[in-house]
């Protein structure tokens, strides 16, 4: 197990994304994809492939993008 090297603010941005998803502010499909994206950014920061500022910009843009999208009702799977 490798020690985390990324800035704690990346964890905060990920938790922010998850909190907005839990409240329904961000669509499930968007949240799942961007959750994986931010996780990838965090791994790259831990490996020092991305610098701290690059990782922060990427994660912040992901959360900003998710919040900028219009709210749409989620698809219903049950028959009407």
Q: Read off the DSSP letter of residue 47.
A: T
**Ramachandran sector of residue 74 (left: φ over 0; alpha: ψ -120 to 50; beta: rest):** beta
**Arithmetic mean of pLDDT, 24-45:** 94
Torsion of CA 13, 19, 22, 28, to 10 degrees: -10
Buried/exposed code over 35-48 (b: 16+ C-beta within 10 A; e: otherwise): bebbeebbebbbee
pTM of the model: 0.82
Band of pLDDT at residue 5, cut at 50, 70 and 90:
confident
Domain residue ranges of the chain, discontinuous segments joined by +: 8-68
């Amino acid at each position: 197990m490798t020690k985390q090297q990324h800035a704690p603010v990346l964890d905060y941005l990920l938790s922010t994304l998850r909190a907005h998803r839990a409240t329904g502010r961000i669509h499930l499909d968007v949240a799942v994809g961007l959750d994986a994206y931010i996780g990838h950014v965090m791994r790259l920061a831990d490996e020092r492939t991305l610098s701290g500022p690059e990782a922060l910009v990427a994660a912040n843009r992901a959360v900003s993008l998710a919040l900028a999208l219009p709210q749409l009702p989620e698809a219903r799977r049950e028959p009407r």
